[in-house]
Amino acid sequence: MEEPLDEWNDKLVEHILKHGADLSFTKFFWRECDQRPADIAQFRRFAFSLEKAYNGESSEAIARDVGVLSSTVDSWILLDKMPKLAHHLKRYLLLRESGGALVWLSVDVGTHGIPMGPFLRVPQVVDSWDEIWEVISQLEPLDIPQGEISREYQFGFLLGMIIGDTAKSKPAIGHRHLGLTLSQKYETNLELGEFTSSCARSLGLRMHRIKDTPQPRWKPHGFFSWVSQASPLIDWIYNVGLGLRDDQVTTYDSLRAGWVFDSPREFRVGLVQGLAESDGSPNVASQSVEFWIGPDWDWMIRLLATFGLRAFKSRQAVTLSKSQAIKAFDVPIFSNQIRTVRFRRHELLARTPRLARTERLPETLRTEIMSLARQGHSISMIVEEIATRRGVLVSFEAAQRSASKTRNGSIM
């Protein structure tokens, strides 16, 4: 329980009078409070002002010495306003050392980098799921939990979306926020974005839908959009959970997240579904599922192997083909919570009976395939359309043979 604020302030002044502008307390915070030279300089002015005021010097004289307005010195002496590092010191005096290799991290950060809490104990390097979960379990959900979706699953799904579709660029000053933009081509993308936001809020991170992005001239559809708060927690997930430096990006740099392979199944299901809904592509015609997750092909293959699925790298994608693509629906690898377009396409691939390769296509199917071909449908679209309409999955090759002929037998 925190002590009364006035006593808290007294301890801050006592500390400054005893230790001056000593910054050793910053090592007990995540990234040492993200201190910049300007922050250090301002903290030193603040500490100098308190010491001089305690010795009876006037605000005007102190202001001339440190080069700030006398009103600023007054606000410092009264502790009405303080520099960013003074706020961290104040928190340190209450929290003290976090213990072992752990440091303190504030989920919320206010104007000018002032820590607002809640404060978490976090490691600066992780090697196991238990270390990750120790952090996540400290977070308080912002929404009342709905249904029976576990927090392990929600964290996994959000992490998958962070690796995939979600923007998470780091500004020069400040912290990362999550930005999600999804095409309006599919209405289920609205549900996907809302579900992702809900997963973020389950971790105590504010995230909400913002104004849609209008259709650009060169695009056929507009976009749904969401944004989260900026938070050191997102930095921690990116730097420690995923093992990426600030100058690295998931598109070009490999993850260092071996801890996921020994994590609970609920988390791994959420993770693979978030990845699939971001970078997965089920193909009914080729009877395969591809994950466009370069350069993390080996990492993805190993993650899928934890579900007993055998995947391989093909071109720039990780591929599950034929029997493995069907088996993957039992996980399932696409979201069964929101049943997106990708999920339904995978369901069609996995649950539609197949014609044997030696079985001749019925005349009605050949006629329908030729009709669809004349309408300009690709072979992949034709196979998917026949599966949807007729409840039978024909091979790509069989559909191609029929599509290449018109009713009078000439080649198209």
pLDDT band at 118 (very low <50, low <70, confident <90, very high): very high
pLDDT band at 358 (very low <50, low <70, confident <90, very high): low
What are the φ/ψ torsions at residue 212 (nearest 5 degrees)?
-60, 150
Q: How confident is the prediction for the chain on average, in pLDDT? A: 91
Q: What is the pLDDT of residues 14-67, one digit of tens each?
A: 999 999 999 999 999 999 999 999 999 999 999 999 999 999 999 999 999 999
* Whole-number pLDDT of residue 369: 86
Taking the C-alpha atoms of residue 204 and residue 239, their distance in angstroms, rounded to an integer, is 19
* Whole-number pLDDT of residue 408: 45
For residue 323, what are its two tokens? 């029997």
213-219 mean pLDDT: 84
CB 372 within 8 A of CB 382: yes
Q: Quick check: 1 pLDDT over 70?
A: no
Closest-CA residue to 334 (of 381, 283, 394): 283
CB 313 within 8 A of CB 299: no
Taking the C-alpha atoms of residue 107 and residue 95, their distance in angstroms, rounded to an integer, is 15
Q: What is the pLDDT of residues 3-25, one digit of tens each?
A: 445 667 889 999 999 999 999 99
Give the helix ranges, DSSP H, for 203-328. 232-236, 265-279, 297-305, 323-327
152-177 mean pLDDT: 91
Q: Quick check: 98 pLDDT over 90?
A: no
* Whole-number pLDDT of residue 217: 82
pLDDT band at 208 (very low <50, low <70, confident <90, very high): very high
Beta bridge mates, 280: 291
Closest-CA residue to 318 (of 334, 332, 302): 302
* Whole-number pLDDT of residue 13: 92
280-298 mean pLDDT: 94
CB 161 within 8 A of CB 218: no
* Whole-number pLDDT of residue 412: 42
* Element of type H or E holding 183: strand 179-183
* Whole-number pLDDT of residue 271: 98
Q: How far is CA 388 from the centre of its chain?
A: 34
* Whole-number pLDDT of residue 6: 62
Taking the C-alpha atoms of residue 218 and residue 98, their distance in angstroms, rounded to an integer, is 52
pLDDT band at 273 (very low <50, low <70, confident <90, very high): very high
- Token pair 């199917």 is found at 365
CB 68 within 8 A of CB 52: no
325-352 mean pLDDT: 95
Q: What is the pLDDT of residues 231-257, one digit of tens each?
A: 999 999 999 999 999 999 888 999 999
Q: What percentage of the chain reaches a pLDDT higher than 70?
A: 96
Q: Quick check: 350 pLDDT over 90?
A: yes
pLDDT band at 398 (very low <50, low <70, confident <90, very high): confident
72-81 mean pLDDT: 92
* Whole-number pLDDT of residue 277: 97
* Whole-number pLDDT of residue 212: 94
